Amino acid sequence: MPLDITPFQARRTRLLQTMQAAGGGVAIIATAPERIRNRDAHYSYRFDSYFYYLTGFREPEAVLVLVAGEAPRSLLFCRSKDIEREIWDGYRHGPEAARETFGFDEAHPIAELDEQLTTLFANQPAVFHSVGYDDAWDARVTGALNRVRAMARSGAHAPSLIRDVRSLVDEMRLIKDEAELAIMRRAADISGGAHRRAMRATRPGAWEYEIEAELLHEFRRHGSQAPAYSSIVAGGANACVLHYVENDALLKDGDLLLIDAGCELDGYASDITRTFPVNGRFSGPQKAAYELVLAAQAAAMAVTRAGAGWNDPHDAATRVLAQGFIDLGLLEGSLDGVLESGSYRQFYMHRTGHWLGLDVHDAGEYKLAGEWRPLVAGNVLTIEPGCYIRPADGVPEAFWNIGIRIEDDALVTADGCELITGSAPKSVADIEALMREA
Ligand code: GLY
Ligand code: MN
Ligand code: MN
């Protein structure tokens, strides 16, 4: 399907307007470098999220330059055509085709970047780039600034302001446009299907990596380019390791399995966690803890809407969990006491969500001027409470090694939120029914 360049052009136009409103200048945004894994083998290539958001261009060795002003311009620098290299590594657009296909005003060979930056920077008030993100790029920008300074006697003046372009783009990335939401919904559906497939494949005696393979198979067969992050497939006590990624243990009868896995589709992440019994039936204590986490998630979802503070879902989930920990005999004291002392953190030590988008932990500030920022329609975030019960004195043994997280991806709307990951079952009845039918 040909790429619809309209959303990318619209984002460049908006960024140019924002730059102009901030006093004007030139922005330079580079894509990610290719990285060597060992000797001649590279890590699979992933473009830079900021660069991709503004261009749709997936080749390495590419830089976007935006020039704000009366006649705003967007320029791409990219690899030249090279028949010999294309035989080995595949198609390159080259500047001419890239300009046409992706709708830039100009495109040039990447080899000309340094020379052209000198001209592009001359007499501009400011340079916007990712300050401090990459030493080599900082040096490259400084080099171009110094070349302009060296031209002072011919009348050129160098930009006197260096600004971080990311803070401008982050504000844009926080509110998803229709094109982004369409991709994110599709990514969420693929990942939901992968979780269903994993539930069907799980049985005592299977290995965690076998279940991981089911997830990856489902991602890839629907066109996802990669997992959005390393999949967590954690049976039994492994679920109490928050970033468990070994995925190499045997799944045991009577244990739970926690899977945190989501695909990346056309640059966009999905992020889903489901927890279910290896043998298809929750035990009494597992069910009690599971229903508690589910109730915490429902409480968080109920307060997720435009105008709510970023932290409201976390506060709502934490309150339900803290009361539940008391009711289950895991903690002593009053609800206020447990919340005030933070003793609930023994079993719930992470936050309830994060922004989601091109990056799984997406760009964007969580506070504005020291206050949790208000949610607005178009934000996408995760809602992912959990409980992780390690063996300890005073903790009833029936709950030892139970690790549970339930994570969905939510789009904030004017009067609530829409879960886009609903295709992965999560009620006890739905999970048990699906596993019974498998
Ligand atoms: N999978 C990463 C996270 O849930 O934040
Ligand atoms: Mn998450
Ligand atoms: Mn996750």
The full set of domain ranges for the chain reads 6-173, 178-437
Q: What is the mean pLDDT of residues 267-287?
A: 98
Would residue 73 show up in a list of annotated catalytic residues for this protein? Answer: no
Q: Which of 230, 232, 233, 271 to mutate to test the pocket of ligand 1 (most atoms within 8 A of CB)?
A: 271
Q: How far is CA 84 from CA 80, 92, 110, 133, 263, in A?
A: 12, 11, 18, 33, 34
**CA 361 to ligand 1: nearest atom:** 5
CATH number for domain 178-437, candidates 3.10.20.600, 2.40.10.10, 3.30.70.141, 3.90.230.10: 3.90.230.10
271 Cβ inside 6 Å of ligand 1 = yes
**CA 262 to ligand 1: nearest atom:** 1
Would residue 48 show up in a list of annotated catalytic residues for this protein? Answer: no
What's the CA gap between 261 and 418, in Å, rounded? 20
CB 167 within 8 A of CB 247: no
Q: How far is CA 30 from CA 51, 57, 60, 75, in A?
A: 6, 11, 9, 12
Q: What is the mean pLDDT of residues 372-376?
A: 98
Work out the angle at residue 33's Cα, subtended by the Cα atoms of residues 28 and 35, and round it to the nearest 5 degrees: 165
What's the CA gap between 418 and 165, in Å, rounded? 31
pLDDT category at 154 given cuts 50, 70, 90 is confident
Q: Is the pTM of this model over 0.95?
A: yes
151 pLDDT above the threshold of 80: yes
Q: Name the residue with the closest Cα to ligand 1, atom 3.
A: 271
Q: State the residue for tokens 């009868």.
A: 253
pLDDT at 2: 75
176 pLDDT above the threshold of 90: yes
- Does the domain spanning 6-173 belong to CATH 3.30.460.10? no
Would residue 229 show up in a list of annotated catalytic residues for this protein? Answer: no
pLDDT more than 70, % of the chain? 100
Would residue 105 show up in a list of annotated catalytic residues for this protein? Answer: no
Closest by CA position to 49, among listed 133, 132, 110, 138: 133
Q: Name the residue with the closest Cα to ligand 1, atom 5.
A: 361
Q: What is the mean pLDDT of residues 308-331?
A: 98
What is the Å distance from ligand 3's center to 401 Cα? Answer: 19
What is the Å distance from ligand 1's center to 271 Cα? Answer: 6
What's the CA gap between 19 and 69, in Å, rounded? 9
Would residue 361 show up in a list of annotated catalytic residues for this protein? Answer: yes
Q: What is the mean pLDDT of residues 272-293?
A: 98
